[in-house]
Amino acid sequence: MTMEFRHEPVLLQEVLQWMNVRENGIYCDGTLGGGGHSEAIMKASGGTARLYGIDRDEHAVRAASERLKDYPGFTAIRGNFHDAKKLLEEAGAGPLDGVLLDLGVSSPQLDHAERGFSYHENAPLDMRMDQSGGMTAADLLNTADERELTEIIRDFGEEKWAARIARMICEHRAEKPFETTFDLVRAVDAAIPKAVRRKEDGHPARRTFQAVRIAVNDELNPLEQALKDLTDCLKPGGRICVITFHSLEDRIVKRCFRTLENPCICPPKAPVCTCGRKPVLKVLAGGAVAPTAEEISGNPRSRSAKLRAAEKRKTEA
C-alpha cells in the first residue's frame, strides 16, 4: 500500500520558538510523521543540525526520508518513541539539544480510509500505527469482554455512554464479528439515544474511536516513562516540547513536567528538604500554548492542540 504522508505541521512556529533551535544542534523528533516539523527544525538550524526522527509507521519513515533526503544530518529510525532512549543510544546520538513529540494520530493516517482510523469512511477496522504486527481494532472488539470494553471506552474516550456501547458491541459481535469501521459506528449509534446524538457537537463515535485507537496502540501507559527517558537524553539547557490533542495525554504531560520541576516529597512544613530530590526541568511558556485563531481557521484539526515545553536545568540532580 502506498500513501502520501504530507500535511501541515501543527503549532510549527511555536515549536521552533520554544525549541530554541540552534546551529549544529542535536535533536530528536520522536513522532516523525511526514517530517514537517523535522524539516522546519533542519531549516531553522541552517541545515547544520543532526536530527533523529523516530516513527513506528513504515509509511511515515519512508515519506520523511524522501522529504529530508537533502539534509545529511537527518537519520530516520523505525520504532516507537516509548523506546527512544534505547533507539537513540543504538543510533549513536549524543546528548540532545531538543526533543519534540507530536502525539496522537497523524492527518495522513486519518485521511487514508484503509488505515481504519476514521469513522467517516467504511474501511477495515485496523487502527494500528505499526501495521507490521500486533492486535487490530477488530481483534480487540471481537475478543475483549464487556467489562474491559467498558473500561477502555470510559477511560480512554471519556465517554459517558461507555457501558451501553460496550454492551451493544458484544450484542453485535454475537451476530457478526466486527470487520469494518462502519460496523463500530453502527454499534455506537445503536447505543447512544437519538436525542443525545442530535444534541451532540461532532460525530457520536469519535470518543469510542479515540478510545479503541489508544488501546490498540498502547498510547498512554508508557507515556510518562518515555517523557522521563527523553528528559534524561537532554543536555543541560536542552528543551522538550510536547503537542497533545486530548485531555488524557495533556494531563499526563502536565503532571510529569510538574513532578520533574518540583520532585520534592518532603512535608510542606518541613524546614529543610531531606528527600534529596532535586528539580530536573523548568516549565516554560507558563503552561499550555494553544494554536492561533488563524491556524485553526486554516487547519481545523489543530483546534484541540496544546503545546507544553520545558527546559532541562543546568544543575542536574
Q: How is 42-67 classified by DSSP, letter by letter?
A: HHHTTT--EEEEEES-HHHHHHHHHH
Q: For position 40, what pLDDT does the model report?
A: 97
Instruction: Specify the pairing of strand 50-55 against strand 74-78.
Output: parallel
CA distances from 271 to 49, 268, 274, 311 (A): 46, 9, 9, 28
Q: What is the distance between the alpha carbons of residues 240 and 130, in angstroms, rounded to a whole number? A: 24
List own/partner pairs for 257-262 with CB under 8 A and 24 or more apart: 257/227, 257/281, 257/283, 257/308, 257/310, 258/283, 260/228, 260/231, 260/310, 261/310
Q: What is the distance between the alpha carbons of residues 284 and 251, in angstroms, rounded to a whole number? A: 16
- HSE (CB half, 13 Å, CA atoms) of 94? 8
Q: For position 4, what pLDDT does the model report?
A: 57
Query: 224: part of which helix (H) or strand (E)?
Result: helix 223-233
Question: What residues form DSSP beta bridges with 242?
Answer: 101, 308
- HSE (CB half, 13 Å, CA atoms) of 288? 18
Q: For position 315, what pLDDT does the model report?
A: 67
Asked if residue 153 lies in contact with residue 165, where contact means CB atoms within 8 angstroms, the answer is yes
Query: What does each of the 317 residues of the chain score in pLDDT, given as a tens digit?
Result: 445 555 679 999 999 999 999 999 999 999 999 999 999 999 999 999 999 999 999 989 999 999 999 999 999 999 999 999 999 999 999 999 999 999 977 766 776 788 999 999 999 999 999 988 899 999 999 999 999 999 999 999 999 999 999 999 999 999 999 999 999 999 999 999 988 877 777 789 999 999 999 999 999 999 999 999 999 999 999 999 999 999 999 999 999 999 999 988 888 888 888 888 899 999 999 989 999 999 999 988 899 999 999 999 986 44
Phi, then psi, of 74 in degrees rounded to 5: -95, 135
Asked if residue 167 lies in contact with residue 144, where contact means CB atoms within 8 angstroms, the answer is no
Taken in order of first residue, the domains within the chain and their CATH numbers are 12-104+220-312 (3.40.50.150), 128-217 (1.10.150.170)
C-alpha cell at 129: 500505527
Q: For position 228, what pLDDT does the model report?
A: 97
